[in-house]
Structure 1
Amino acid sequence: MFSKLINLIPRDWLVTMYKHMPFTGLKNWIVYRAQHKFLVAVLAIITNEKGQILLLKHEYREQPWGIPGGWMELESPEDGLEREISEETGLKVQITGLAKAIYGTRPNRVDLLFKGKILEGTFKPSSEISEICYCEVDHWPVGLPAEQIKLIKEILSDG
């Protein structure tokens, strides 16, 4: 509601008001309330020493298999992804780079897709992940969504 009201004010007026308003805390509060909100998801194409892709069997999805990922907390994207994978699987990974950023809806979000590799660890099932598998391209488990297959191939073909 507040953001709709703020967006009725001409942009030039808002800039002038922001520039001359003396209270930084109040300015930041207004700016925060006036902006649209979205979540940030971190996802990864993780490979092992053989170049196989790590896939996780999620307990809460209709199509259960997928790439590792989760929602960021108050942390860097790489740290968030390493934390999520460790919490869900017991595996330690190294994130090697950002591969792609995607805007999505339901919920409004930005998906940051990274590449990474397995460092160490033994898989431990969790309440979210019941199994893992390492797959060669085009040898996917039943239940891996077509959108994820397309993303995996796209990211791997980009080097």
Structure 2
Amino acid sequence: MLSKLISFIPRDWLVYLYKNMPFNGLKNWIVYRAQHKFLVAVLGVITNEKGQVLLFKHEYRKQPWGIPGGWMELEKPEDGLEREINEETGLKVQITGLARALYGDRPNRVELIFTGRITDGTFKPSSEISEIYYCDIDKWPDGLPIKQRILIKEILIGDSGKLEEGANIL
């Protein structure tokens, strides 16, 4: 609501008000309330010592197989992905880098896709993840979305598929 009202104020006026408003707490509250919101998803193309890709069988998806991921809490993105994987499976991973950042809609979100490797742990099924599978590229299980297949190949071997802008990976 506040963001719609503020959109009618000329940008130069908003900059002037921001620069000259004396109360930082109030200023930050207004800025926060005036901005559009979105979620941040953290996902991982995680490999084992053989270079095989870790996939999860999600209990709540129509296409059940997929790369590990979840929603970030108030934490560093890398910590969020490590936490999600550990909570859902008991596995420990080390994040090695940020591979890609994408925008998705339904819901509006930023998807941060990391690379990483398994470091420790034994798989324990959870209410969200019933199985894990380590697969070689192009030996995908049935039920792995095409967009995730393309993403994995692009990240691991540089194969540029047809991952279009706004592709919902999660």
Q: Could you tell me the TM-score, scaled by structure 1's length?
A: 0.98
Whole-angstrom distance in 2 between the partners of 1:92 and 1:30: 40
Q: Does 1:51 find its partner at 2:45? A: no
Which one-letter code corresponds to 2:69 in the other structure?
Answer: G
Give unmatched runs, 5+ long, in structure 2. 160-170
Q: Residues 54-73 of structure 1 correspond to what in structure 2 (within 5 A)?
A: 54-73=54-73
C-alpha distance in structure 2 between counterparts of 1:158 and 1:122, whole Å: 30
Match of 1:78 in 2: 78
Displacement of 1:157 in angstroms is 1.7
May I ask how many residue pairs the two structures share in their alignment? 159
Q: For residue 158 of structure 1, report the CA deviation from its aligned partner.
A: 3.3
- Show CA shifts across 1:24-47 (max 9, x none): 111001100110100000000000
Other structure's SS at 1:101 match: strand
Q: How many Å separate the matches in 2 of 1:57 and 1:85?
A: 13
Aligned to 1:98: 98
Tell me, what secondary structure is at the counterpart of 2:150? helix
Distance 1:151 1:94 in 2: 20
- 1:28-39 equivalence runs, <5 A: 28-39=28-39
2:119 is matched with 119
CA distance in 1, matches of 2:121, 2:32: 41
Q: Which segments of structure 1 move beyond 6 Å, counting only runs of 4 or more?
A: none
**What does the per-residue CA deviation read over 1:21-75, in whole Å, with 9 as the maximum and x for residues that have no partner?**
1111110011001101000000000000000000000000000000000000000
Distance 2:32 2:21 in 1: 15
Separation in structure 2 between the aligned mates of residue 66 and residue 113 of structure 1, nearest angstrom: 13
1:113 partner letter: I
2:88 aligned partner: 88
Shift of 1:20: 1.1
Distance 1:13 1:158 in 2: 46
